Copies of this chain bind each other. A is one copy, B any other.
Amino acid sequence: MNREPIETCEVSVIHEDVLARVKAKMPDEEPVYEVSELFKVFGDSTRARIICALNIEEMCVCDLAVLLGMTQSAISHQLRLLKVARIVRSRKQGRVVYYALDDAHIGQIFAMAFDHVMEEMEG
């Protein structure tokens, strides 16, 4: 197959072999996108602190607001996001709503990232 280099292409491939291998091994687009969406939820300090707290114990919105020194509204908005992302589940008892982590994996992923950060902060 005699192929001319495509001149109209602005970006040229340097290593065709590398590209072929990586293309073959790359995971599907969809799960990668989902993973980044999951990380996006973790990537806010307020939500990260909420997750850390709920990883210790189930809590209501009000107590979370006091713990983190933020308004009830701000906490509630973030909890909504966390619930949509299936990171948190809620349980209503009277007029109090208790939130808890929905999945044990979440705590594990957080713990792993925590270890990584701790190592970085020493070295």
Q: Which residues of A contact B (CB under 8 A)?
A: 10-15, 18-19, 21-23, 25-27, 29-45, 47-49, 52-53, 56-57, 59-60, 62-63, 65-67, 71-72, 86, 96, 103, 105-106, 108-110, 112-121
Counting every copy of the chain, the complex holds 2
Residues of chain B within 8 A of A11, CB atoms compared: 62, 65-66, 71-72
Contact status A62-B26, CB under 8 Å: no
Q: How far is the CA of A77 from the CA of B52 in the complex (A)?
A: 31
**Nearest B residue (CB) for A21:** B57
Give A13 to B41 CA distance when docked, in angstroms.
27
B121 touches A112 (CB 8 A): no
Q: Which B residue sits closest to A112, measured CB to CB?
A: B109
Query: Which one, B26, B57, B116, contacts A109 given CB within 8 A?
Result: B116
